[in-house]
Structure 1
Amino acid sequence: MKNIIANIRQTYPVSDEALQALLTEMEERIYPKDTCIVQSGITDHLVYFIEEGVTRSVFHHDGVDTTTWFSKEGDITFGMDSLYYNQRSIESIETLTDCRIYVIHIDKLNTLYEKYIDIANWGRILHQNVNKELSHLFVERLQLTPKERYDSFLLRYPGLINRVKLKYVAAFLGISIYTLSRIRAQK
C-alpha cells in the first residue's frame, strides 16, 4: 500500500494509529482493464483507493462519453453523489488499466472520521484540494486555448498521456481528437 500511504501522508500528517485503523478497514480488490467499478444510476457505497492502475470518471449523455477526471496510483475515487448525498451516481468510473484497488465502505470511513480527528482533517483537506482542482479545470476550459489546456494536462498528470487512450484525453480537455493530434504533432 505504499502509493496509498504516501498520498495520504502527503495530503495530511495522519498519525500512525489512525492510518493503521484506516488501512485495517480496507479490502483489496483486483479489477481488470475496462471494468466499470462505479455505474451511473446506481448508489455506490465504496471509496476506492488506487494502489496500482488508472481510472477515469466518465459522464454518458446521448451516446457521448465525456471524461471528467483521471485517478492514478495513490489517488482515491468514488461516485460523488453517492459519497456525499447517498444518491445515485451521475458518473461512471472505469478502469483504464488493470488495477489493484483497496476499498472501504463509506459507513466505516465515516466512523473513522468521528473517531480520529486527523482522518477527518485528511478527508477535509483532500476534498478541498479536489474542489480547487475542479474549479481550476472549469476556468481552464473557459479561458485557455486547446494547446494551453494540453500543456496544463501534461503538468497535472505527468506520464499519463502514454497510459490512456487519446480520445479520453481529448474529451477531458474539451477538444476533438483531431485537434489533440495536431497539437501533439507540433511538439
Structure 2
Amino acid sequence: MKNIIAKIKQVHPLSDEALNALVSEMEVKYYPKNTCIVHSGTTDRMVYFIEEGITRSVFHHDGKDTTTWFSKEGDVTFGMDSLYYNRPSIESIETLEDCKMYVISIDKLNELYETYIDIANWGRILHQDVNKELSHIFVDRLQLPPKERYENFMLRYPGLINRVKLKYVAVFLGISIYTLSRIRSQK
C-alpha cells in the first residue's frame, strides 16, 4: 500500500490514528486489464485507491468514447455522480492495465470524514486539486494549440504515454490520432 499512502501524505498529512482507521476499512481487490469497474448508468458506492495500474474515465455518447481522465498508482477514482449525489455515474471507469486496488464504500468514507478532521481535510484538498486540474485541462483544450496540449500532458502525466493507447491520449487532448503522431514524430 506504499503508493497509496505516499500519495495520501503528499496531498495532506494524516495522523497515524486516522491513517490506520482509513486503511483498516479498505479491502484489496484485483482487476484484470480491460475491466469496467464503474459502469455508466449505474450507481457505484465505492471509492477505488490504486496501488498498481492505470484506469481511464470514459464518457460514452453516440457510439464514441471520450477519455476524460486518467488515474494511476496512488490516485483515487470513483463515479463522481455516485460519490457526490448518490446517482448513476455518467462515466465508466476502465482498467488499462492489471490493477491492484484498495476499495472502501462511500458510506464508510463519509463516516471517517465525520470522525477524523484530517481525513476530511485530505478529502477536501484532494477534490480541490482535481477540480483545479480539470479546469486547467478544459482551458488548455480551448486555448492551446495541439503541440502545447501534448507538452502539458507529458508534464502532468510523466511516463503515461508509454502505458496507454495513443488513441486514448489523442481523444483526451481533443486532437486526432494523426495529429498526435505528427507531434510525437517531431520530438
The aligned runs of 1:134-149 (5 Å cut-off) are: 134-149=134-149
Counterparts of 2:33 and 2:57 in 1: how far apart (Å)? 14
Letter in 2 for 1:41: G
3-state SS, counterpart of residue 47 of structure 2: strand
The aligned runs of 1:53-72 (5 Å cut-off) are: 53-72=53-72
Counterparts of 2:64 and 2:13 in 1: how far apart (Å)? 41
The aligned runs of 1:88-127 (5 Å cut-off) are: 88-127=88-127
Q: Could you report, residue by residue, the CA deviation over 1:33-83 in whole angstroms, capped at 9, with x for unpaired residues? A: 000000000000000000000000000000110000000000000000000
Specify every segment of 5 or more residues in structure 1 that has no aligned partner in the other structure, as ranges: none
Specify every segment of 5 or more residues in structure 2 that has no aligned partner in the other structure, as ranges: none
Confirm whether residue 159 of structure 1 aligns to residue 159 of structure 2: yes
Q: CA RMSD in A?
A: 0.3
* Correspondence for 1:180: 180
**TM-score normalised by structure 1 residue count:** 1.00
Letter in 2 for 1:97: E
Q: Could you report, residue by residue, the CA deviation over 1:136-165 in whole angstroms, capped at 9, with x for unpaired residues? A: 000000000000000000000000000000
Q: Could you report, residue by residue, the CA deviation over 1:5-51 in whole angstroms, capped at 9, with x for unpaired residues? A: 00000000110100000000000000000000000000000000000
3-state SS, counterpart of residue 134 of structure 1: helix
Counterparts of 1:183 and 1:63 in 2: how far apart (Å)? 27
The aligned runs of 1:16-35 (5 Å cut-off) are: 16-35=16-35
3-state SS, counterpart of residue 109 of structure 2: helix
Counterparts of 1:61 and 1:177 in 2: how far apart (Å)? 19
* Correspondence for 1:73: 73
Identical amino acids, percent of aligned pairs: 81
Counterparts of 2:48 and 2:20 in 1: how far apart (Å)? 17
Counterparts of 1:34 and 1:183 in 2: how far apart (Å)? 27
Counterparts of 2:25 and 2:70 in 1: how far apart (Å)? 25
* Correspondence for 1:11: 11
3-state SS, counterpart of residue 90 of structure 1: coil
Which runs of at least 4 in structure 1 moved beyond 4 Å after TM superposition?
none
Counterparts of 1:16 and 1:140 in 2: how far apart (Å)? 39
Letter in 2 for 1:57: S
Counterparts of 2:35 and 2:144 in 1: how far apart (Å)? 33
Counterparts of 1:102 and 1:84 in 2: how far apart (Å)? 20
**TM-score normalised by structure 2 residue count:** 1.00
